[in-house]
Amino acid sequence: MIRALPGVAAALAVAGLTLGTLVVVALRAEGVARLGPGDWAAIRFTLVQAALSAGLSVALAIPVARALARRRFAGRGVLITLLGAPFILPVIVAVLGLLAIFGRNGALSSVLGWFGLPPVQVYGFHGVILAHVFLNLPLATRLILQGWLAIPAERFRLAATLGLAPRDVRRLLERPMLRSVVPGAALVIFLICTTSFAVALTLGGGPRATTVELAIYQAFTLEFDLGKAALLSLVQVAICACAAVIALGAAVPAGFGAGLDRMIARWDAPRGWRRLADGAIIAAAAAFLLLPILAVIADGLMALGGLPAGVWKAAGRSVLVALTAAALALALALPLALLIQRAGRFGGLIEPVAYLSIATSPLVIGTGLFILLFPVANPVALALPVTAVVNAAMSLPFVLRALMPALRDAEAAHGRLADSLGMTGWARLRYLLLPRLRRPAGFALGLSAALSMGDLGVVALFADPAQATLPLALYQLMGAYRMDDAAGAAVLLLGLSLGLFWVFDRGGRLNAAA
């Protein structure tokens, strides 16, 4: 029982931070009648933009994933790796890159001006959709590509032996796979888009482009109406919960069975114009995803040396918050993972606790913490610690998913030997588990730190300009139309985010046990 205490304490801490703050928010809410027309408009906009963003991301990802699955070319592995970069790309940096390409003064508007056409209007509904597709198309592509690669190679070999045409392969192999993969991918993106704050804050914000997240923020900063913010927080959680229930019933197992884990050879890959079409799809997706990032880097490198001193101080605060959040996330995830492993078949009852933050918006948690702290302390003075705690909670599911497979493999391979030697407690953790968890722990720390570096959520509720983190300082520069300084701050934020991820991930790989 004593060995389980750290895991139980971690589970209670996570439940308190998610469910506890939700209860606090619920007690502060004052009934549905308080929702005005603007609030209902925000709810409608949230649902419409999230559904449309998820639908477009998945629809565009299917041909990209199909092309990547059936083509082999130089640099394919690098391109697939780069598709994961937007996941740790700070959202505010992505927005700045989109403005550089699609904004009123961006590259696309300049090209349109050559033909006498009006510039592109990127703000509002279509700007929010564009940003969400940019951020989530890579994720959808990776998820669907994994579905293609999971089809046993023997199925494609049998299709080639039977002389099936490409349309028959699509009907018998690809469509069943898509029915099993697409609902889950769409759910993940829908949840990300419903809880997306920075995109709506920078590209939306008008009466017709306000999300529930942004409405919560406005209830705090403009009206200081905690009851209204609490009620909107409950609406946000209800939206996420309903989406999860719908998606659970939408996925259909593909039913391919097991294969022999052979390398997949695509005999069905058509030649001629279809091969050119696949190449064009891959090139278009790569250009759409890489050009905005390259534009930010090109503009920001020149302005990096002239950044104000306040930006560098904000960068220091962001690094401190990111390191704290990463350490807290690992401190929660490791005992939780050990508890789940020890619990055996009952571990399935404990594991969902760690994933509660997925269905809870960071602003919902921030709202609850604000309500709790306001009577006893100055929330502004605690802005950075609270931001670190919330960021740790939001990255906990990813950290746990990185640790659990390695922990299960270590116990499966060496657990019986350790039991026969009487190796328990700290000795088992130090000599058996930690050496084999070093690599996934390094990846998890890097991912958590990178996600925290780019966060523009809770800190916007609590912090004043003197305590701004780097994403908040970048947003303030954009609001003041100091776009050169904003580009320089974006490059600094991008470099620090990727740098922290690389340092931790690389550190975990050095001399790590397999």
Q: Tell me, what CATH number does 92's domain have?
A: 1.10.3720.10
Helix, coil or strand: residue 507: helix
- 55 and 119 share one domain: yes
User: Which pair of structure tokens corresponds to residue 450?
Assistant: 């990178």
Query: Are 57 and 138 within 8 A, CB to CB?
Result: no
- 155 and 182 share one domain: yes
Instruction: Classify residue 44: in a domain, yes or no.
Output: yes
- 222 and 311 share one domain: no
Model confidence at 262: pLDDT above 60: no
- Enumerate helices (H) and strands (E) in the chain, giving the number of each: 24, 0
**Last-in-domain residue among 247, 266, 301:** 301
* CA pair distance 67, 145, nearest whole angstrom: 9
Query: What interhelical angle do 37-70 and 125-150 show, nearest 10?
Result: 40
Residues 456-484 pLDDT 10s: 877 877 777 778 899 988 988 888 888 88
Instruction: Classify residue 58: in a domain, yes or no.
Output: yes
- 265 and 331 share one domain: no
Instruction: Classify residue 506: in a domain, yes or no.
Output: yes
- 379 and 496 share one domain: yes
In DSSP notation, 205-251 reads -STTS--HHHHHHHIIIII--HHHHHHHHHHHHHHHHHHHHHHHHH-
Split into its structural domains, the chain has a count of 2
Query: What interhelical angle do 470-479 and 309-343 show, nearest 10?
Result: 140
Q: Name the residue with tokens 């004593």.
A: 2
Closest CA to 259 of 156, 146, 145: 156
Query: Are 401 and 493 within 8 A, CB to CB?
Result: no
Residue type, 448: S
Instruction: Classify residue 317: in a domain, yes or no.
Output: yes
* CA pair distance 157, 122, nearest whole angstrom: 47
- 53 and 26 share one domain: no
- 126 and 264 share one domain: yes
- 58 and 25 share one domain: no
Instruction: Classify residue 35: in a domain, yes or no.
Output: no
- 264 and 221 share one domain: yes
Percent of the chain with pLDDT over 90: 11
- 276 and 360 share one domain: no
Percent of the chain with pLDDT over 70: 83
Residue 3: Cβ-neighbour burial (10 angstroms; 0-12, 13-18, 19+): middle
Residues 394-413 pLDDT 10s: 888 888 878 887 787 777 77
- 113 and 11 share one domain: no
Per 3-state DSSP, the chain is made up of helix, strand and coil in percentages (nearest 5) of 80, 0, 20
pLDDT at 251: 47
Model confidence at 291: pLDDT above 60: yes
- 283 and 398 share one domain: no
* CA pair distance 448, 323, nearest whole angstrom: 9
More confident residue, 51 or 344: 51
**Last-in-domain residue among 268, 301, 334:** 301
Mean pLDDT for all residues in the chain: 79
Supply the range of the domain harboring residue 316.
1-30+307-514
Instruction: Classify residue 396: in a domain, yes or no.
Output: yes
Model confidence at 270: pLDDT above 80: no
**Last-in-domain residue among 263, 285, 301:** 301
Model confidence at 105: pLDDT above 50: yes
Model confidence at 323: pLDDT above 80: yes
